[in-house]
Structure 1
Amino acid sequence: PFPVLEREMTHDLSVLGRHYKTGTHVYLAFDEFQQDQKFSPERWIKGAHNPYRNVPFGTGQRMCLGRDLAQELLGEMLAGIFRTFAPERIRPYSNHLFSGRRNDGKDSFATTFYQLRVFARALKNSYRIGLKRKAELSKCPYAQKA
Structure 2
Amino acid sequence: MKKVTRNNRTFVEGLKKQKCFLCDLSTATVLFEDSDFVVVLDAFSAVPGHLICAPKKHVKSLSELSETQSKELILLVRKLDTVLRNIFNPFRIAIISSGLAVEHLHFHVVPIPNEEMMWDFKYLRKDQTIEYSKQEKEELIEKIKKGLK
Shared fold per TM-score greater than 0.5: no
Give 1 or 2 for the bigger CA radius of gyration: 1
Which is strand-richer, 1 or 2? 2
User: TM-score of the superposition, structure 1-length normalised?
Assistant: 0.28
Higher relative contact order (CA 8 A, sep 6+): 2
TM-score between the two structures when normalised by the length of structure 2 = 0.27
